Chain A
């Protein structure tokens, strides 16, 4: 506790006169097609965004893209097949061999291709990071223009753990050569549901 008191005393003594917080002016591009902007942004950072009409179309795409013999985990009841996984153990290590994780995101951000997802939709917190291929589904109507609009939504959110995920895990640490799949997923696919409104 000595450390705490000492630090706080020094900070209190030394901090300059307070200045007010600025007002954050939120510039939105308004009429632009945010779904298109999102598709481009995610494509630029190594991910894939696909616009679909319904859940069946998503199932078709997934079965086409990923090996059916590998381990898939879905946390989306609407998808029907595969059915929602319920057998999580206390040990997150049991998820190491998951090939495809299919999760519902809360919304996307058009300017950077990021998807916001919280613990409730992850099954286990480690799942979006430990799987080999990450599939996220969001409603196209949920896409927000910039991070400012994203935090307007998040301001009232009471998550325990949440993350913006923008593309596959990547590194350019070796001579600036971009390599996908540094630690986490090697691919990220985002389905934008166009019809049903949410």
Chain B
């Protein structure tokens, strides 16, 4: 595995992106792969006639959820309990992890299987359980690949999108004993199927995420393409489902709206292969749901940032983002990468994630593809202001901004600076394009225009 993709702790987005950018052909490949998925999404979205209206409906349902979350949470809890499900509440990741561990400890189990759950990534559940001597096997193929490599996922839907098949072949030959040099996807998937089937067959406890939780019925819906969540849950004595409190939807019929949107936005499929509705545990099985807050209730009170809670985790904003595609998911150093991660992360820890809202061109493509109409690029812009006000922006960036503000607010100085810059670009380009100016990294010096706009304008006026 390329060194540049791991070991992301302690560095900011720009530094990590620079590392990713060292291998240009790899960046191009990563970029093209994600753009290919973006195009599949477009095709799927255009196939449904009322696509635009569907997104608007989804957005309105989520708006309704935000304004009634208290009532819906109580309703969900009551109905889930009546269905025979144990419901737990966790304010923090620590509370969540402790709850999971208590359930595992009570069952006297030392190994568990887990299907994809971004919430457990957010809470660093695997690390916690491992510190308690519990082995966690991620059963989603992409997640298992990054887990074997000791990395976090780099994408919420496509966890190992940054891995090449030859590297996966090497990884499997080391960990699963496949023959060296075999990198055929069909062969490797079959090897993983056998390896993971063995774990599903022998695990008494299964952990899953939750895509939607229905207040009206107390049921949860889990979507996968592989069927790993279903297989592991139906073979286990205990099922733990972990969810953020914003995953609630009011009524069952609203699933019709969201299931039409989720897979189309994510990968361009009309629906995920499996959309399983868990309402009551299987006979003899124990089922738990953990409702996690971790900053969500605080965000709910923010006019500027509460909309991010509408996210259904489809990943469309990542696939389309020109920065994500060229900097890789690990450059965001947070469980959720890309534009949506960049507006979620600072809400949890402003200081640690202060760099992320700046990792954007503000082109707005993310907001454009979002199936539930989150104003992602507006929020990125608003976070920049909040971060600057709270002194979480570097002195270099601040002094640059101050200088720019000073020049832009003084017309004469602006006219002089424009001319001077043009002169410099022409005669002393190294003054601008050098290692001290971060803008010129991976960029080429543009040609300086022959005259300033003012000169051109005055000349035009005269010649009339």
Contacts and interface: CB of A to CB of B under 8 A. Distances in A.
Contact of B301 (A14, A146, A162): A14
A182 B253 contact: no
Given A176-B37, A179-B185, A7 B91 contact: yes
A179 B278 contact: no
A41 B303 CA distance: 42
Interface string B102-120: 0000000000000000000
A167 B36 contact: no
Nearest to B279: A160
Interface residues of B, number: 90
B451 interface: no
Nearest to B164: A175
Nearest to B246: A11
Interface stretch (A58-66, A72-80, A149-157): A149-157
Interface residues of A, number: 73
B90 A3 contact: yes
Contacts of B228: 182-183
B27 interface: no
B226 A114 contact: no
Interface string B264-294: 0001011111111111101010000001010
B11 interface: no
A120 interface: no
Contact of A151 (B37, B67, B83, B253): B253
A19 B253 contact: no
Contact of A3 (B89, B196, B230): B89
A160 B193 CA distance: 28
B61 interface: yes
A27 B272 CA distance: 21
26 contacts: A3-B89, A6-B91, A11-B245, A22-B57, A22-B61, A93-B201, A124-B234, A125-B282, A151-B256, A161-B280, A162-B279, A166-B270, A166-B271, A166-B272, A169-B226, A170-B225, A172-B267, A173-B158, A173-B159, A174-B163, A174-B165, A174-B189, A175-B185, A177-B165, A182-B192, A184-B226
